[in-house]
Structure 1
Amino acid sequence: MVAVTLWGSLRRFTGGEGQVEVEARNFKELLDRLAETYPGLKPQIDRGVSLALDGRIYREAWFTEIGPDSEVVL
């Protein structure tokens, strides 16, 4: 499981949760699972989001691997 920290306005789509956990090995899986679990996030994800992995910001790096202890911020 990957812990994902959500910033600001994205939290309203997860019932106010600031951090959620999803099963994912890369960014594509992570975004797909977030959209499935929290349908309100899908339009935000479809517009394009940046992800920070261990302090480095990525955009459209679909197959970047996520380790089990990685820090992920959306």
Structure 2
Amino acid sequence: MSVTVRIPTILRTYTGGSSEVTAEGATLQEVLADLDRNHQGIAGRVLDDEGKLRRFVNVYVNDDDVRFTEGLATKTPDGAGISIIPAVAGGA
């Protein structure tokens, strides 16, 4: 399955500055593995040392937050849009 992955500004150094790239995979885990094969090092910024999504990185498949679906096992149908969004912290 071919999907489009939207890359946040902070990770674009891994994609040569591209804000969107394509990747292959039937699940989010497969897509992230393919993304890392083609843009080495990016998975390390999205996944922790145990291979789970980092706590402060939100990932959406289409409009669904994967934390509330099947996590890395979330299906990624052909043509899906995947968004990687670093959480923003702050306050006064």
Shorter chain as denominator, the TM-score bin is 0.7 to 0.9
For the aligned residue pairs, the C-alpha RMSD in angstroms reads: 1.6
Mapping for residues 1-74 of structure 1, pairs under 5 Å: 1-47=2-48, 48=54, 49-59=57-67, 61-74=71-84
Q: Is the 8 A contact 2:66 2:72 kept in 1?
A: no
Taking the aligned partners of 1:46 and 1:3, their CA distance within structure 2 comes to 19
Give the gaps of 5 or more residues in structure 2: 49-53, 85-92
- After TM superposition, the runs of 4+ consecutive aligned structure 1 residues lying more than 4 A away are none
Taking the aligned partners of 1:35 and 1:50, their CA distance within structure 2 comes to 17
Identity %: 23
Structure with bigger gyration radius: 2
Determine which structure has the larger helix proportion and give its number.
1
Give the gaps of 5 or more residues in structure 1: none
The normalised TM-score by structure 2 is 0.70
Moved more, 44-53 or 19-28: 44-53
The normalised TM-score by structure 1 is 0.84
